[in-house]
Each structure stands twice: as structure tokens, then as C-alpha cells.
């Protein structure tokens, strides 16, 4: 398996992005600067920041400080938490001249007073501090402890000097301007032997909206002085959302408010692009190489994959030929791994929109299940078969549930799946289609690859989804394979809610939360954001809604997830087959009679259309209201 933390080695070809960050920081004419490293959850922001910080530390003239955004989450005021931590780090810097320790103490006392007072003003021109009588004593005591700790680090700074800086009552610190603090902060930096202060802040998007805004404001209002660079890693969408939450009263369109505010705080945005199919295959192959070959051989393979010749930027960078060139011969498990990477990369790239963390988590779950099987003495579980089943499990969960039931009824060898594989392969040989460049959930290539109507009239509804048809056609074939041991180690997913919530990104979780809201406005906003989600997230949201449906008592109630699942599929039509499979599995007497009419716009009269197949099933229903409503709906199908 592979660690889910940020990586030290570049497996994603990020050197050009790191170079972009360094080009700003190392250009003194551009400082002070705020650099935003933007990317979706799991896109590799933390790895990029770690690599950039390591390169910056190679220059002894740089003082590089790294902070996790969560560090400030537990503080009442994130501004003072950030400033205090930065001042602590500067005070500990060995290049700081002894005489400057007093100035550091002065700044720390001011920050400490603001923290205790807890009333930093919101005005951009300055701030005021107020508090109850006697509060200054508490501040002075707190600061005295801090100052004595600093004395231990600066032998040349005398006890009487500390008394000098503590002599002034904190009440006299009221209405100190931002300019005064920044001037003193700049003076403190000038008294180090460092040329630049670089502050790297990661995981800011995991914080509450208030913490995000306070951290950004602390940077811009208090710490933005000459010779400083702030590198902030975050999901741009979540920062914009924090702005809208923090300033709901601002006029103008809400999206523009978030964008404009962010542009004022971030001067240099660097956005991490998603991995394409070839890049995903290279990344997955490198992960396999990381666990399969020695450090020296892996370093050569990594270099060939990410430090490629400019002429190969748009081609596959890590191939079995590269591995053969390094090792001399590729065989055994590693050869199988590279073949597996080639098979699963197109779907992972499309469904996750090239998200490295989701790719890694898929592979980790694959490894975990193989390890569980081995511990039970099941040694003949084939990784490629398991991987293929897991792709269906992750991205078409309703079909996976139906396959689980079908294999259980047929001793692990469902005939319907064998028929689907045979027919889809026959269709490919008799009427070839161009290979799709990616297996996207809304990809027209998959829809075009669906078999002709007359070829598959007898396949069950859950196998009519074009995505599932393309999946059935992919290697390896599962016909004749006993699937029972594979499903035994997938039982965790076959529960009521499965792992949908765990697999969602923060953005998808936010959308799901809005869909379940009792507020019409919140629900509308959730549906409006459907197009922003990756196919994998859209599928996970549907799976979570399906889990709620199975728990609902009344599908017709306003709070039921039943209607919201239908509306969700209207926004993400690649999930029509999954919706039809779900509806076919619920008790017919619980389906609201208005449902067929709501489904008309999602279907067609084609015999292989999932909605038409569902209607044909409902036409035979013993529930008269549903049967009559379905007959009326069928007349409206295009």
C-alpha cells in the first residue's frame, strides 16, 4: 500500500509548477508576494508545497516556515495565532541579532494582548483593543512567561531589557495602527541575516470559513512587508465559499464577490491541472514501481516519467519499455501491475478527473482486500479481476449491487454478465468503434459503443447502462469466473449506506448536505453545483441518496431522498441507468404514482433504454396506480 500523506518525491510531474513558485519567490522585485497554489481536494497541493519548501530551504538566505491551516483552528482568533507562531519562529532563528530580541518581544506582547482582548477590529485602516479593567495584568503575566522563554534562547539579551519592554502597560497599546505593526515587523526581519521570509500555509481549505478569512487578512494587513512571500495551498472554490459566508451583506453576484476578494488577497495564482489518461497511467505505474523495485531503480524510472524530454510531453512517459530498460527484464508481479495500470488508468482518469488521491485510495483498497484474502488462505484472487469489480463498485454502485445478487443466486457465475460480455464483444468485432480517449461519465463514445437494440433485448435493466456495457467489454472477461470470493471481501460496500460518504471529496459532501436540506434555496444551490463535480463524486452523491432511499419510510414525503435522487439524475444524466436499476429494486407499492411522469424526460422508446425497460417492468405491476401512471408516461416517451 501507499501512504496517503504528501510525497517527498515527484511522481506527478510537478517540477514545472514548483519552478513557477520559485520564480516568484526568488525574484526580489516581486516581493512582498502572496502565491496561491490552487487545486481540488487530493490534487497534490501538499506534495507540491513540500517540494517547493525543500527547494527554497537549499538557499541559506531563506527562512522558510511551514504551517498547517488546522494549527489555527483551535484558536479564538486565527490572526493572532498565525502572527504569534511566525514571530516565535523568527525569534528562534539563529541569525537574529541579540539586540533584535527586544523588538521580537515587543511584537509578541502586542500580539498576545490582542489575543487576550479578542477584539481585533475589522476595519482595514486600523484596529482598536478594549477590555475589562485588570485584563492587562493577565496579559503581562502571560507575556512575561513567553519573554523568559525567549531569554533562554538569547544569552546576550539581559533581564533588565525584558523589564523595559514589559514596563509599558498593555492599555497603552490601544489603537496601534496596522502600519506601526508592519513597520516593526519589517524592522525585525531586517535584523536577521536572512534575505527572505517564506511562509508556507497548507490545508487552509479544511478550516472553518472564519479561520480562512482571518488567516488571509492577517497576511495582507499585518505581515505583508518587504522580503516576505506567503505560499498558500487551498481549494479555490472553498475559499470563495468562505468569503461568501463571511461577508453575506456585500452587494453583487455572490460568485463574483468571492472571486474579487480572493484576487485582492492572492497576487499569483498557480493552479494544479488534473491528470490526463496518460499521466494517470504513469502515476499508477510509478506507485507500483515504488513498492516493487529498489530505490536506485525507482529513481531512474521516476526520472524517465516526470523529467521527460519536451518532445514527449503529450505521450505516455512511463511504459513497460522504460521499466525494461532500467531492470533488464520485467516479470512476475511487477509485470502484472503494469498491465493492470494500463487497464484501470482510463477509467480512473475520467471518473476521478485525474485526482491522484482518489487513484491512490482506490489502489490502497485493492491492496487491502488482497491482503485480507491472503490472511483467510484465499491465494487465487486475481488483482485484475478484483480491480475490474471494484471499478463497478466505485462508479456504478447500483449495478454492483445487482451483480452481487445475481452471482449469489448462480453460485458466483451470473449468466447475465456472461451474456453481456459476449454480446458487447460480438458487437465490437462486427461494428468496430473508435477507442474513446477517456471513459467519461458523460462521454458520447460510451453511448455510441452501446450494442444495437435487437442484440441485447434480454439483458437485465442494470446491464443497460452504456457505462456498464463498456465496463463489461473491458478485460479481463469475468464469464466463468467464480465471483463469490471477490464479493466476500466487498461486503462492507453492500451495506445500506456503503462507503459513499467516505469516498466523497469535501465539495461533494457539501453538495450532498445541501440536497438534504429543508431549505429550497439550499437544495437549488446543491443541484446547481452538480456540473462542478467529477463523475466519481456525482456517482458517490447518487449512491448516498440511494442509501437514504432504502432507509426512508415514505418515498412521497417532502423530506424523502426519493425525489431528490430523480432530480439529481436530471442534472447528471450519465446516471440514468443507475437510477432505473435502483427504482426497479424498490417495492412497487411504495413508488409514488407521479414518478413515471417525472422520468419521461430521462428516457426514450428504444428497447434498450433503461427508462423504457423500467416502464416495461412497471407495466406488469400489480400496483394498479403505478401501472396506470406508467402507461400514460410511455405515451410521452420520445
Q: Is the pLDDT of residue 173 over 50?
A: no
- pLDDT of 328 reads 84
Q: Is the pLDDT of residue 169 over 70?
A: no
70: Cβ contacts below 8 Å, ≥ 6 apart: 203, 206, 207
Q: Give the separation between CA 270 and CA 255, rounded to whole angstroms.
A: 20
Angular region, 134: left φ>0, alpha ψ -120 to 50, beta rest: left
Beta bridge partners of 229: 33, 198
Confidence of residue 296 (pLDDT cuts 50, 70, 90): confident
Mean residue pLDDT of the chain comes to: 78
CB 36 within 8 A of CB 169: no
pLDDT of 13-49, one tens digit each?
888 899 999 999 999 999 999 999 998 888 888 899 9
Q: Is 125 helix (H, G, I), strand (E, B) or coil?
A: coil
pLDDT at 136 over 70: no
Who has greater pLDDT, 336 or 69? 336
C-alpha triplet 400, 405, 408: angle, nearest 5°:
120
Q: What is the average per-residue pLDDT within 76-91?
A: 79
Closest alpha carbon to 286 in 259, 322, 313 = 322
Architecture of domain 20-76+196-273: 3-Layer(aba) Sandwich (3.40)
Q: How many CA atoms lie within 13 A of 193 on its CB side?
A: 9
Percent of the chain with pLDDT over 90: 22
Distance CA 564, CA 1 (A): 37
> What is the average pLDDT across 143-162?
45
**Model pLDDT, residue 433:** 43
Report the percent of the chain where pLDDT is more than 70.
78
- Please say whether the dihedral angle defined by the alpha carbons of residues 461, 464, 468 and 469, taken in this order, is positive or negative: positive
> What would the mean pLDDT of 263-267 be, rounded to a whole number?
83
Pick 630 or 145 by higher pLDDT: 630
- Provide mean pLDDT across the span 429-456: 44
For residue 429, what pLDDT is reported?
Answer: 58
Where does the pLDDT of residue 446 fall: very low under 50, low under 70, confident under 90, or very high at 90 and above?
Answer: very low
Length of the chain: 638
Grid cell, residue 356, equals 491522484
Enter the DSSP assignment of 208: -
Q: pLDDT tier at 116 (50, 70, 90 boundaries)?
A: low
Distance of alpha carbon 364 from alpha carbon 373, whole angstroms: 14
127-136, 183-192, 460-469, 610-619: segment of lowest average pLDDT: 127-136
Q: Check if the beta carbon of residue 324 is closer than 8 Å to that of residue 330.
A: yes
Kindly report which listed range (47-56, 113-122, 375-384) carries the lowest average pLDDT score: 113-122
User: In this predicted structure, what is the pLDDT of residue 153?
Assistant: 45
On the question of pLDDT at 320 being above 70, the answer is yes
Amino acid at each position: 500500500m501507499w501512504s496517503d500523506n504528501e510525497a517527498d518525491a515527484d511522481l506527478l510531474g510537478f517540477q514545472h509548477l514548483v519552478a513557477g513558485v520559485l520564480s516568484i519567490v526568488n525574484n526580489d522585485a516581486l516581493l512582498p508576494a502572496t502565491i496561491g497554489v490552487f487545486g481540488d481536494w487530493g490534487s497534490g497541493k501538499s506534495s507540491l508545497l513540500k517540494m517547493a519548501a525543500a527547494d527554497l530551504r537549499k538557499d541559506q538566505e531563506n527562512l522558510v516556515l511551514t504551517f498547517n491551516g488546522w494549527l489555527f483552528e483551535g484558536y479564538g482568533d486565527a490572526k493572532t495565532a498565525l502572527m504569534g507562531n511566525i514571530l516565535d519562529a523568527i525569534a528562534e532563528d539563529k541569525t537574529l541579532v541579540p539586540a533584535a530580541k527586544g523588538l521580537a518581544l515587543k511584537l509578541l506582547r502586542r500580539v498576545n494582548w490582542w489575543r487576550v482582548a479578542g477584539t481585533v477590529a475589522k476595519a482595514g485602516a486600523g484596529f482598536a483593543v478594549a477590555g475589562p479593567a485588570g485584563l492587562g495584568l493577565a496579559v503581562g503575566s502571560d507575556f512575561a512567561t513567553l519573554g523568559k522563554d525567549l531569554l533562554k534562547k538569547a544569552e546576550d539579551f539581559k533581564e533588565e531589557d525584558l523589564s523595559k519592554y514589559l514596563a509599558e502597560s498593555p492599555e497603552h497599546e490601544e489603537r496601534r495602527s496596522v502600519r506601526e505593526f508592519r513597520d516593526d515587523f519589517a524592522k525585525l526581519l531586517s535584523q536577521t541575516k536572512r534575505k527572505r521570509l517564506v511562509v508556507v500555509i497548507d490545508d487552509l481549505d479544511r478550516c472553518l470559513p472564519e479561520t480562512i478569512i482571518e488567516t488571509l487578512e492577517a497576511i495582507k494587513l499585518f505581515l505583508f512587508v518587504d522580503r516576505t512571500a506567503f505560499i498558500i495551498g487551498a481549494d479555490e472554490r472553498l475559499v470563495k465559499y468562505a468569503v461568501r459566508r463571511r461577508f453575506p451583506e456585500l452587494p453583487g453576484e455572490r460568485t463574483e464577490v468571492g472571486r474579487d476578494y480572493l484576487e485582492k488577497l492572492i497576487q499569483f495564482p498557480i493552479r494544479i491541472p488534473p491528470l490526463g489518461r496518460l499521466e494517470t497511467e504513469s502515476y499508477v505505474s510509478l506507485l507500483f514501481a515504488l513498492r516493487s523495485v529498489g530505490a536506485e531503480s525507482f529513481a531512474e524510472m521516476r526520472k524517465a516519467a516526470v523529467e521527460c524530454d519536451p518532445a514527449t510531453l503529450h505521450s505516455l512517459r512511463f511504459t513497460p519499455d522504460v521499466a525494461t530498460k532500467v531492470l533488464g527484464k520485467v516479470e512476475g508481479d511487477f509485470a502484472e501491475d503494469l498491465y493492470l495500470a494500463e487497464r484501470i488508468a482510463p477509467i480512473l482518469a475520467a471518473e476521478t478527473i485525474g485526482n491522484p488521491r482518489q487513484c491512490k485510495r482506490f489502489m490502497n483498497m485493492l491492496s487491502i482486500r488482497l491482503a485480507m484474502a491472503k490472511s483467510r488462505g484465499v491465494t487465487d484472487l486475481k488483482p485484475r479481476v478484483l480491480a475490474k469489480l471494484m471499478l463497478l463498485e466505485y462508479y456504478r454502485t447500483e449495478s454492483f449491487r445487482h451483480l452481487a445478487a445475481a452471482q449469489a443466486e448462480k453460485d458466483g457465475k451470473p449468466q447475465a454478465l456472461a451474456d453481456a460480455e459476449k454480446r458487447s464483444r460480438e458487437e465490437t468485432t462486427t461494428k468496430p468503434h473508435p477507442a474513446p480517449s477517456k471513459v467519461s461519465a458523460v462521454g458520447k463514445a460510451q453511448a455510441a459503443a452501446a450494442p444495437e437494440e435487437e442484440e441485447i433485448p434480454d439483458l437485465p435493466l442494470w446491464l443497460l447502462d452504456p457505462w456498464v456495457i463498456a465496463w463489461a467489454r473491458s478485460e479481463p472477461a469475468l464469464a466463468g469466473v467464480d465471483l463469490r470470493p471477490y464479493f466476500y471481501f466487498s461486503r462492507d460496500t453492500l451495506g445500506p449506506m456503503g462507503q459513499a460518504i467516505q469516498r466523497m471529496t469535501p465539495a461533494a459532501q457539501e453538495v450532498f448536505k445541501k440536497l438534504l436540506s429543508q431549505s429550497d434555496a439550499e437544495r437549488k444551490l446543491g443541484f446547481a453545483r452538480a456540473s462542478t463535480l467529477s463523475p466519481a463524486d456525482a456517482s458517490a452523491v447518487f449512491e448516498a441518496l440511494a442509501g437514504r432511499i432504502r432507509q426512508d419510510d415514505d418515498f412521497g414525503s417532502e423530506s424523502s431522498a426519493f425525489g431528490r435522487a430523480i432530480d439529481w439524475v436530471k442534472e447528471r444524466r450519465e446516471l440514468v441507468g443507475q437510477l432505473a436499476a435502483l427504482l426497479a429494486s424498490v417495492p412497487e407499492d411504495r413508488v409514488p404514482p407521479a414518478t413515471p411522469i417525472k422520468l419521461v424526460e430521462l428516457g426514450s422508446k428504444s428497447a434498450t433504454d433503461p427508462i423504457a425497460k423500467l416502464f416495461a417492468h412497471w407495466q406488469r405491476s400489480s400496483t394498479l396506480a403505478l401501472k396506470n401512471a406508467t402507461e400514460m408516461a410511455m405515451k410521452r416517451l420520445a
